[in-house]
Amino acid sequence: MPVGTCHRLSKQELNMAKVFDATSTTDDVLSGVNLQGKRILVTGVSAGLGVETARALAAHGAQVVGAARDLSKAEGATAHVREAASAGGGSFDLIALDLASLRSVRACADALLAKGAPFDVLIANAGVMATPFGYTTDGFETQFGTNHLGHFVLVNRLAPLIRSGGRLVNLSSSGHRYSNFDLQDPNFERTPYEPFVAYGRSKTANILFAVAFDQRHRGRRVRAAAVHPGGIQTELSRHMDQNQHQSIIEQLNKQLAAEGKPPFRYKTIPQGAATSVWTAVVASPEEIGGRYCENCHVGQIVADNVTISAISEGVRGYALDPNNAEALWKKSEEMVGENF
């Protein structure tokens, strides 16, 4: 800018300059932001974070396509999303997607590719947590197959539709700290199955997929990041009984007390979805590209030998390691039988 001139910041630029935190909501993050003309895909719009993410974006003018396995359930859950879209100048449509079936994933991608309408953002929000041991339709361990491989195929098939300047946002979790992925035994054929270890592997994979996707597409100004939404009460915990749930909270509060921190408090759903929205349309691309975001900011690497509570901030280095990311990409291609 020439000396002596004054640049009046737009509402969007002012919003990018704001500092948000764990208490910020989707409406806080999107205050003053106009998303008209933006087209955004959000998976998992039948409950919880997916519904709120879709609502917030559509209410600010975005054309949102919501993907869900159970369309009748999603129709009921998103009635207010359509109302918000109508009031805010946006739109909302549904498409069928079962991430536990590559046939369904490919059909969803084919339908969107046939339509040919580009996307500005893909938000890979859907997922499962701590499921009993089982397999997807294609024979993959349920959590790795659903949380990672389903999105891996969907996103890579849709990559040609992402506009220059677009983004991929993968929903991960602080649960990635339970485990790195296991290149040699992704389906627990030789390893005793532990629900949260399997969850951790899949959430690490979500981060590594973002790292590798960002590396491949940043040359055309498409960036990717992973997001930890925080601790929220949603349907994600439906496979845990009350005793398991209480035990985890008690253990967590002991860890927090040892760190000199207050007891754990759940985020609201609008607070939980805020980081997805911030990463997708508010933060600068250079800030979030190839990174892990939490509480509406970029998370910092915490060394593997440093003990931290499950709810504390920080990402393990193995989840951002580019060599790990490349190894996972190749293994994922091998497992799904497609090269991207």
Can you read off the two tokens belonging to residue 121? 């953002």
Cβ proximity of 144 and 202 under 8 Å: yes
Strand partners, 124: 170
Active-site entry in 178, 193, 199, 318 = 199
Torsional sign, CA 61, 66, 72, 74: negative
The Cα angle at residue 203 between residues 336 and 177, in degrees rounded to 5: 140
Helix (H, G, I), strand (E, B) or coil at 44: coil
Cβ proximity of 155 and 216 under 8 Å: no
Can you read off the two tokens belonging to residue 326? 């490349």
> Catalytic residue at 292?
no
> Identity (one letter) of the amino acid at 267?
K
Burial of 106 (0-12, 13-18, 19+ CB in 10 A): middle
Sheet harboring 39-43: ordered strands across?
91-96, 63-68, 39-43, 119-124, 162-171, 223-228, 292-294, 297-298
> Identity (one letter) of the amino acid at 201?
R
Rounded to 10 deg, the angle between the 102-115 and 150-158 helix axes is 20
Helix (H, G, I), strand (E, B) or coil at 294: strand
What residues act catalytically? 199
